[in-house]
Chain A
Amino acid sequence: EPEVTQTPSHQVTQMGQEVILRCVPISNHLYFYWYRQILGQKVEFLVSFYNNEISEKSEIFDDQFSVERPDGSNFTLKIRSTKLEDSAMYFCASSGSRQGRGTDTQYFGPGTRLTVL
């Protein structure tokens, strides 16, 4: 069964450093998303991406964040200058096959645990 994959599983960084979190969405999906979950809190939407551009972003997704689909398979989230409060689990998700079915059913990757020291 196709699945979303994410690397690394755990990233530790110093405050102020840049991090890039990587995702490989399900291969025939067209819509890509990043969510985050701070320990003990709810899953929060960050950004959605379709047709090589951002379609929606949340208030959390400020200028420190950016997303990119550098090739036909990867989808990345960059945090330019990490803060302590960026420590969280970051989940990538994808949806929407080329056949046009299931655009709204999102499947999640296993997540990257980001720890900012």
Chain B
Amino acid sequence: RKEVEQDPGPFNVPEGATVAFNCTYSNSASQSFFWYRQDCRKEPKLLMSVYSSGNEDGRFTAQLNRASQYISLLIRDSKLSDSATYLCAVNRKAAGNKLTFGGGTRVLVKP
């Protein structure tokens, strides 16, 4: 089983709609969780950290389910500019703080 798995998509989303997708992780010792956004051939840009209580940043909501070992990202009122690949990343401080990334979920927002 891969350490971090994501549905590669693409998720084709009408502008203004809501889209949600998950990321599963296999290592129960994972401590910190993140969503990054990556545009084509660019660097991962931090979208949000994911806290145990869940957190929201504008139109973006992230949840963590430790029991089932997954995190989720929900995007409300999708904009054309939300089209990107969303990378899930998990961190273990004991492993030199390394981030392990999923393969990404591609989201295409269409007018």
Say whether A111 contacts B42, CB under 8 Å: yes
Cβ-based interface call for B69 (8 A):
no
Cross-chain contact of A56 among B34, B89, B96 (Cβ < 8 A): B96
Say whether B46 contacts A45, CB under 8 Å: no
**Chain B residue contacts of A45, Cβ below 8 A:** 98-100
**Chain A residue contacts of B100, Cβ below 8 A:** 45
How many residues from B make CB contacts under 8 Å with A? Answer: 26
**Chain B residue contacts of A111, Cβ below 8 A:** 42-43
A interface residues (Cβ-Cβ under 8 A, vs B): 31, 33, 35, 41-45, 48, 50, 54-58, 89, 91, 93, 95-96, 103-111, 113
Closest B residue, CB atoms, query A45: B98
Cross-chain contact of B44 among A43, A48, A96 (Cβ < 8 A): A43
The interface bits of chain B over 14-51 (1 if a CB of A lies within 8 angstroms of the residue's CB, else 0) are 00000000000000000110101010011111100100
